[in-house]
Chains A and B, each alone.
Chain A
């Protein structure tokens, strides 16, 4: 099992640019979660999908953030336009049907200058 795959692992961009983070969940998992980790706020949930449908997006900070899951094997988190305060590590996690554990990807470290 390849685990949750995220790309890119590192992203450096300038303020105002569009950033797209990508995630491939574990095959067969039906729930997908996007988390953000910062020193100030710790780990916080941004959005999660169940069977490709967004269930809870209350953690999405503002309209600059959007997430999609066009199929069971792919999700994107987009920030447009990016700001320096978006600098963080973004994690994707997936969960299988009937299970409770979430398995995390390696994260994407985003730096906005």
Chain B
């Protein structure tokens, strides 16, 4: 079974600064996807960014980028130029693509990020 660990329950950052959220995972699979989801106080789950395991290039979406280290099974999220609207719970998630129970998401416990003015 896959496990996803987010070791930082809470983090804070000043507006306009950069913050990195950590995520590690454990799997024996070779074919998988990794995701970061954001859950603001509205509780809506919003997809932030995804990374295909077979791609060495780190994914980027505007101010959001990842540092994917496959050998280390690490998948961190960097938020640049933090904005007040980035305040939310952030979840790292794993999805395997083959075998039984594929396509389901396994989530970490989340990191609560607060952006301070």
Contacts and interface: CB of A to CB of B under 8 A. Distances in A.
Contacts, number: 48
Interface residues of A, number: 23
Interface string A93-109: 10100001111101101
Contact of A42 (B35, B103, B104, B110): B110
A109 B41 CA distance: 13
Interface in B37-57: 37, 42-47, 50
A103 B110 CA distance: 18
B109 interface: yes
B105 interface: yes
22 contacts: A31-B103, A35-B105, A42-B108, A43-B91, A43-B107, A44-B107, A45-B105, A45-B106, A50-B103, A56-B104, A89-B43, A91-B45, A95-B103, A100-B33, A100-B95, A100-B103, A101-B47, A103-B47, A104-B46, A106-B44, A107-B43, A107-B45
Interface of A: 31, 33, 35, 42-45, 48, 50, 56, 58, 89, 91, 93, 95, 100-104, 106-107, 109
